[in-house]
């Protein structure tokens, strides 16, 4: 990790968006099937999935959820889920040493909860966190895109985005790509603040394994509608991570990702809300990063 990347990530850890104390009582149920807060490995070739405790997100504010990988593993990616139907939105989602940290913003009028997740593993022949070039996003609500590319011979394992400045943004896409030019992590963000912000994509890359990116069936959202989309790894492969977002050519007011997480053993789900000002329906797609079946244990 570069010095700049470490400083930026440290800002996220020590900044102004820390969660407040969780009040007494049980938090609302999550969308996800629960698994152990400690390391969980479902089989000899499975990655390890960990989750944070639910964090309180105050109405009109932001909070950060941190999931920590077990000793001896590296963070491959991560995400977040919350039980609110569209008003709690995903903003930052970044690696920091052996943790994955997600920040959410609560645009609603009531406090809410969010849970962070990390995907962890070991045994790769090479591992690298790649930070793409930072991009400025002007305060006009228009979309800006950026991508981070894995070095030659390395495969995408996961990814996320750093956002500098106020977090009144719409994360329209945060997803893996793979083509003849290599593996990338792509992001698209809209800025609803009165000032310019910065965005920076992050790709988690590794070698010593084969992977494939699988897209789900997708979903279509009417203006203001809130829906999930899920991608599932083929039989004989293992989920490593995933992402998703709005369909690329639909650029009006787009969609806002609210959740991105492992929803089942081999499935990755996103939830998104279509902007109420959209003039028509908008599509969303989820992507799963799947590890081949012919590999030794991570």
Query: What pLDDT is recorded for position 113?
Result: 97
pLDDT in tens, 168-189: 999 999 999 988 778 999 999 9
C-alpha distances (whole Å) from 60 to each of 14, 93, 107, 175, 267 are: 20, 19, 5, 27, 31
Q: For residue 30, what pLDDT band results from cuts at 50, 70 and 90?
A: very low
* 212 neighbors 183 (Cβ within 8 angstroms): no
Residues 6 or more apart whose Cβ sits within 8 Å of residue 38:
50, 70
Query: What pLDDT is recorded for position 276?
Result: 85
Proportion of the chain above pLDDT 70, given as a percent = 80
**Residue 193: count of CB within 10 angstroms of its CB:** 15
Q: For residue 146, what pLDDT band results from cuts at 50, 70 and 90?
A: very high
CA quadruple 208, 158, 12, 120: dihedral sign: negative
Pick from 221, 224, 232: which is nearest to 284 by CA? 221
Q: What are the φ and ψ backbone dihedral angles of 12, each rounded to 5 degrees? A: -65, -40
pLDDT in tens, 50-88: 999 999 999 999 999 999 999 999 999 999 999 998 999
Average pLDDT, the chain: 82
Whole-number Å distance between alpha carbons of 292 and 235: 10
Whole-number Å distance between alpha carbons of 90 and 81: 9
Query: What pLDDT is recorded for position 141?
Result: 64
Confidence check: pLDDT of 26 > 80: no
Q: Against a cut of 0.75, is the pTM above it? A: yes
């Amino acid at each position: 990790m570069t010095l700049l990347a470490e400083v930026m990530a440290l800002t996220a850890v020590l900044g102004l968006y820390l969660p407040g104390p969780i009040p007494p009582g049980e938090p609302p149920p999550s969308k996800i099937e629960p698994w152990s807060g400690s390391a969980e490995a479902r089989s000899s070739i499975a990655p390890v999935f960990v989750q944070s405790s639910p964090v309180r997100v105050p109405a009109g504010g932001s909070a950060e959820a941190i999931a920590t990988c077990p000793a001896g593993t590296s963070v491959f990616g991560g995400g977040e889920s919350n039980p609110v139907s569209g008003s709690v939105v995903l903003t930052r989602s970044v690696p920091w040493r052996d943790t994955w940290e997600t920040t959410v913003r609560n645009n609603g009028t009531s406090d809410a909860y969010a849970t962070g997740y990390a995907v962890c593993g070991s045994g790769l022949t090479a591992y690298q966190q790649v930070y793409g070039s930072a991009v400025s996003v002007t305060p006009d609500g228009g979309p800006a895109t950026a991508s981070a590319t894995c070095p030659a011979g390395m495969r995408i394992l996961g990814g996320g985005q750093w956002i500098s400045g106020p977090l009144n943004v719409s994360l329209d896409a945060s997803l893996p790509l793979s083509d003849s030019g290599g593996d990338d992590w792509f992001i698209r963000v809209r800025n609803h603040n009165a000032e310019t912000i910065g965005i920076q994509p992050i790709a988690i890359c590794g070698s010593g394994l084969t992977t494939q990116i699988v897209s789900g069936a997708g979903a279509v959202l009417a203006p203001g509608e809130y829906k999930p989309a899920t991608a599932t790894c083929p039989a004989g492969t293992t989920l490593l991570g995933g992402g998703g977002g709005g369909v690329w050519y639909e650029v009006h007011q787009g969609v806002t990702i609210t959740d991105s997480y492992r929803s089942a053993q081999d499935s990755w789900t996103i939830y998104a809300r279509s902007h109420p000002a959209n003039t028509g329906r908008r599509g969303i797609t989820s992507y799963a990063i799947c590890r081949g079946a012919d590999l030794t244990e991570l």
